[in-house]
Amino acid sequence: MPELPEVEITARRLTSTLAGAEVESALATGVATLKTYDPQLDRLAGGRIEGVRRIGKMLAVDIDAGEPLTLLVHLMSAGRLQVFDRRASLRDRRSRLLVRIADGRELRLREFGTRQSAWAKLLRRDDVGADEMVATLGPDAFPPPPLETFAELVRQPRHLHPLLRDQRVIAGIGRSWVDEILWQARLSPFKKGSELDDEEVERLHDALPLLGEVIDHYEEVIGESVPDKLPMPLEVHRREGEPCPRCGTTIEAVFFAEHQTNYCPEEQTGGRVLKDRRLSRLLK
Ligand SMILES: [Zn+2]
């Protein structure tokens, strides 16, 4: 699940390999992957890739095609945007969007699993900021917003786990890193933002730079291209049954229909083990 650090390293690596490359053609192979029709994808032919930026959890491929255009890509939960030396077979079921480079390479949006939820929009550069997915984003989680701004954002009567993953509140955090941030801050995923005292807000704010440390980690361990599976340095997420790296207490999990949250009961929930919803998940 690509979140802020994974999307950031992807943007950096794509920029270093693609900046200046000429587009030969582009083709959307996924069902309804391309959400826009003006400008048409054909406009990219002959254009030059300027670079790739991260906007929240989205990637923005800037292409000069006579006019400045941007291919905005959301990887959703299982998408990858990668460069391949050879072109994909059109039978590749994972392909969603192909941008063929004049030198024979190909920038390919692929998606693992059966669902087709990753999407792309081709926009005029000036219109990117007004796109609903961009315009509604909260400030980036890294670098963190000032403490006062952050305090205003999180003091809402909502559980911290969904609150911090809400891109309109703060951008870049998803199901993996939210667990790590809450563990770092020693806060329960089920505590409400409005229940935090000043010291707890500060602890939560102080945990955000871990996203930057993860980017630094990727910079060190990832080579020229980003692999399908990133070496995510997770301490608690998906580590139920293992000892907490800080205090040794067994890490617990709460399972939901499509995700799970992990926490250290000793340090985050006052010693309480929260109700496991796995049974209701299996009965669905
Ligand atoms: Zn612990």
Q: In angstroms, what is the span from residue 190 Cα to ligand 1's centroid? A: 17
Q: In angstroms, what is the span from residue 244 Cα to ligand 1's centroid? A: 5
CA 52/CA 95 separation, integer angstroms: 19
Instruction: Check residue 256 and give its pLDDT.
Output: 87
Confidence band of 126 (pLDDT split at 50, 70, 90)? very high
Residue found under tokens 């200046």: 20
Tens of pLDDT, residues 140-192: 999 999 999 999 999 999 999 999 999 999 999 999 999 999 999 999 999 99
Tens of pLDDT, residues 65-115: 999 999 999 999 899 999 999 887 777 889 999 999 999 999 999 999 888
Instruction: Check residue 277 and give its pLDDT.
Output: 61
Tell me whether the omega of the peptide bond preceding residue 68 falls within 30 degrees of 0, making it cis: no
Cβ-proximal residues to 159 (8 Å cutoff; 6+ apart), any chain: 189, 190, 191, 192
Contact 255/277 with Cβ under 8 angstroms? Answer: yes
Q: Average pLDDT in the 14-19 region?
A: 98
Q: Which residues surround ligand 1, an ion (CB under 5 A)?
A: 244, 246-247, 249, 264, 266-267
Instruction: Check residue 284 and give its pLDDT.
Output: 44
Residue 261 has which token pair? 């949250």
Q: In angstroms, what is the span from residue 247 Cα to ligand 1's centroid? A: 4
Q: In angstroms, what is the span from residue 32 Cα to ligand 1's centroid? A: 44
Q: Average pLDDT in the 105-133 region?
A: 95
CA 277/CA 283 separation, integer angstroms: 10
Instruction: Check residue 1 and give its pLDDT.
Output: 79
Contact 237/176 with Cβ under 8 angstroms? Answer: yes
Tens of pLDDT, residues 233-281: 999 999 999 999 999 999 999 998 888 999 999 999 999 998 766 555 5
Phi, psi at residue 262, to the nearest 5°? -115, 145
Q: In angstroms, what is the span from residue 202 Cα to ligand 1's centroid? A: 19
Q: In angstroms, what is the span from residue 246 Cα to ligand 1's centroid? A: 5
Residue found under tokens 């050879």: 86
Q: In angstroms, what is the span from residue 142 Cα to ligand 1's centroid? A: 25
CA 174/CA 5 separation, integer angstroms: 10
Query: Per-residue DSSP letters for 120-137?
Result: EEEEEGGGGGGSHHHHT-
Q: Average pLDDT in the 199-206 region?
A: 98
CA 214/CA 172 separation, integer angstroms: 13
Q: In angstroms, what is the span from residue 183 Cα to ligand 1's centroid? A: 8
Give the neighbor-by-neighbor strand order of the sheet with 23-28: 23-28, 95-101, 106-111, 79-84
Q: Average pLDDT in the 221-230 region?
A: 92
Q: In angstroms, what is the span from residue 248 Cα to ligand 1's centroid? A: 6
Between 88 and 38, the more confident residue is 38
